[in-house]
Amino acid sequence: MGGGTGADSDNTSAAPPPASAAADGGDVQIRQSRRLPDFLQSVNLKYVKLGYHYLVSHLLTLCLIPLMAMIIVQAGQMNPEDARQLWLHLQYNLVSVIVCSAFLVFGSTLYVMTRPRPVYLVDYACYRPPSHFQVRPQKFMEHSRLIGDFDEASLEFQRKILERSGLGDETYLPEAMHCLPPRPSMAAAREEAEQVMFGALDTLFANTSVKPKDIGILVVNCSLFNPTPSLSAMIINKYKLRGNIRSFNLGGMGCSAGVIAVDLAKDMLQVHGNTYAVVVSTENITQNWYFGNKKSMLIPNCLFRVGGAAVLLSNKSADRRRAKYKLVHVVRTHRGADDKAFRCVYQEEDDAGKVGVSLSKDLMAIAGGALKINITTLGPLVLPISEQLLFFATLVVKKLFNSKVKPYIPDFKLAFEHFCIHAGGRAVIDELEKNLHLMPVHVEASRMSLHRFGNTSSSSIWYELAYTEAKGRMRKGNRVWQIAFGSGFKCNSAVWESLRHVKPSPKNPWEDCIDRYPVKTVS
């Protein structure tokens, strides 16, 4: 059978193609030839833009080089008499020289004393739950059906959300949600919080060799689970942290609270010198599972999964040698004054009295507005002058001449090598990829983190950074943009600069599966 098929193939290939096929082939060649100039034009425009970017970015250097050359030439042509006159002039003005030098030294000292302390990211660790906590979509649906709280319409809605979510087969749910019936008790919620926080902290302390007693600042963020004593108190009790530690517990601040926690730790490190700060970002699912049939409240059930991260920050100059990153900027945007933005992610009771988090249909539009404000603030801090000039020029043209002119979207690929977009869902990643004109490789870490770990709330940006490191892509001097969205409504950005070629730390959450990624996800 195989030989006969091969013979038929040989005969077919030897025969001339039919007239219709030849015509089709000619049409294809014509279409390709017509596309070729368009392709060449796009390539030319790309290199013109790159040339413009390098010209404007290095304009000062290009102007200074001829100036310095002229000064050197003039100095070389100076005769001995002119040189002697210059030296006598300096001697007669010795007092002026001394005063100017004193002011220069004083100004330099004042600048060094008052400038912000650099904040270094020594290392971080992401929690990876045990494999028996994994839940496949089929198991998720079977479990939801057996619980008996969902009607057929709600089950079908959850099935469709799971199909389009971008989540894979290896995401994790807490132990309490694997039980039949589920046991969303306070004790089970505390157990989940301890497993996640202590698991990440144990790895962090082991990798950095930092003693818990050396920690001077602790910031914990968890939006929906806020017990008494607090989560920060649970950590202090577990690791016997010192009595004068500055501890903070952030609640109700949504998926962008991880950046807020870093910003708070940064501010504290400006005040308290020569110390360490630990930021713990997590979310708790056990007591926040929705057992009703309101569709807008069922979406979080399908997306949120177990996860958490612990980050060690330092303001010690000695830690620069071993630190992975330096914090460059934090930009925070809050739209809470707008009623629609305030209620677009809202925890409430449904008509049956069951508590859940409702997601508004306007969520993506509101997120887009928050993103626009955030990048308008961030842009001047990170974009090269070439992009800023283009943005300003289109803004002036739009304002003065033609209101229909589309605003210029700056090319953030010129400012950052890596993007960690909060893995809130496939739609969030799609929108940012489209609106920021990113390439698939720029959103790969976000898509793969969503596929492997699901939406882990405020810790998702750290799983994405861990993915980039595990792939061996983080080089010295690379800049990373972490961007997250959260209830309120908030959009927050953190910018980091790599201090060396970063290798993944021990117990990286991707260490035994990175070779399988990237995988193709459902579009």
Please tell me the predicted confidence (pLDDT) of residue 391. Answer: 77
Of the listed 334, 374, 478, 492, which one is catalytic?
A: 334
Please tell me the predicted confidence (pLDDT) of residue 165. Answer: 92
Contacts of 67 (CB under 8 A, 6+ apart): none
Please tell me the predicted confidence (pLDDT) of residue 231. Answer: 98
Give the residue among 61, 180, 172, 182 at the shortest CA–CA distance from 127: 172
Please tell me the predicted confidence (pLDDT) of residue 41. Answer: 42
**Residue whose pair of structure tokens reads 């008499």 in the numeric block:** 81
Please tell me the predicted confidence (pLDDT) of residue 101. Answer: 77
Residue type, 206: A
58 assigned to active site: no
Buried-exposed string 177-192: b where 16+ CB fall within 10 A, e elsewhere: bbeeebebeeebbbeb
E strand or H helix at 264: helix 257-271
Q: Which domains does the chain have, with CATH numbers?
A: 120-516 (3.40.47.10)
The tokens for 148 are 């008996």
Of the listed 293, 315, 374, 422, which one is catalytic?
A: 422
Exposed / middle / buried, residue 459 (Cβ in 10 Å: 0-12, 13-18, 19+): buried
Please tell me the predicted confidence (pLDDT) of residue 87. Answer: 66
Of the listed 344, 418, 442, 491, which one is catalytic?
A: 418
Of the listed 126, 221, 249, 255, which one is catalytic?
A: 255
Query: 359-397: per-residue pLDDT in tens?
Result: 999 999 999 999 989 998 998 899 988 888 887 787 778
Please tell me the predicted confidence (pLDDT) of residue 406. Answer: 74
Please tell me the predicted confidence (pLDDT) of residue 395. Answer: 74
Please tell me the predicted confidence (pLDDT) of residue 105. Answer: 79
422 assigned to active site: yes
- Reported as half-sphere exposure (CB side, CA atoms, 13 A), residue 253 has a value of 21
Please tell me the predicted confidence (pLDDT) of residue 8. Answer: 39
Of the listed 249, 315, 455, 508, which one is catalytic?
A: 455
**Residue ranges of the chain with per-residue pLDDT less than 70:** 1-62, 64, 67, 71, 73-78, 82-83, 86-95, 97, 110-115, 402-403, 522-523
272 assigned to active site: no
178 assigned to active site: no
Residues shown for the chain:
523
Please tell me the predicted confidence (pLDDT) of residue 390. Answer: 82
Buried-exposed string 425-457: b where 16+ CB fall within 10 A, e elsewhere: bbebbebbbeebebeeebbbbbbbbbbbbbbbb
Please tell me the predicted confidence (pLDDT) of residue 74. Answer: 65
334 assigned to active site: yes
Of the listed 284, 302, 315, 451, which one is catalytic?
A: 451
Query: 137-195: per-residue pLDDT in tens?
Result: 999 999 999 988 899 999 999 999 999 999 999 999 999 999 989 999 999 999 999 99
Please tell me the predicted confidence (pLDDT) of residue 58. Answer: 55
418 assigned to active site: yes
DSSP secondary structure, 119-161, as one string: -EEEEEEE----GGGB--HHHHHHHHHHH--S-HHHHHHHHHH
Distance CA 253, CA 488 (A): 7
Distance CA 347, CA 340 (A): 14
